[in-house]
Amino acid sequence: MKYVLMFAETPQYAEDLAAMDDAQRQAAYDEVGRWFADNAARIIHHAHLQGPHTATTVRRVDGGHEVTDGPFVEGKEIVVGFVEVEVADLDEALAMARSWPACPIVELRPVSP
């Protein structure tokens, strides 16, 4: 089955990341790199998104369109990237999400067949 793993950041995580020195940050990136290498056979594609300050949202309103600044969900948890994976079942996808070394929230959703 195909799943998308959506990664979300919290303000606390962003602060922790900002507080790291270069060596620590490099170590964190290396861990993420290892995760991608370990799961290379399962990952179909992936994307890392730019920060929420770059987001623009278009809403259809009363037959017209309203363009607003920022993400469509006003919240503290911000989607920062996703991977699409091909695995046997939810448990295999959950195991990937559990071993994810970076941002603290991962939502899993199967892709419609």
Q: Under the rule (CB under 8 A), what is the footprint of another protein? A: 1, 3, 88-91, 93-95, 108, 110
Distance from C-alpha of 67 to C-alpha of 73, rounded to nearest angstrom: 14
Residues 69 and 56 sit within 8 Å (Cβ to Cβ): yes
Q: Which is nearer to another protein, 18 or 88 (CB)?
A: 88
CB of 1 to another protein, least distance (A): 4
Element of type H or E holding 30 = helix 22-38
Distance from C-alpha of 93 to C-alpha of 99, rounded to nearest angstrom: 10
Q: Which is nearer to another protein, 28 or 42 (CB)?
A: 42
CB of 91 to another protein, least distance (A): 5
CB of 83 to another protein, least distance (A): 16
CB of 80 to another protein, least distance (A): 23
Q: How far, in Å, are 33, 34, 48, 71 from residue 15 at the CA level?
A: 21, 23, 18, 20
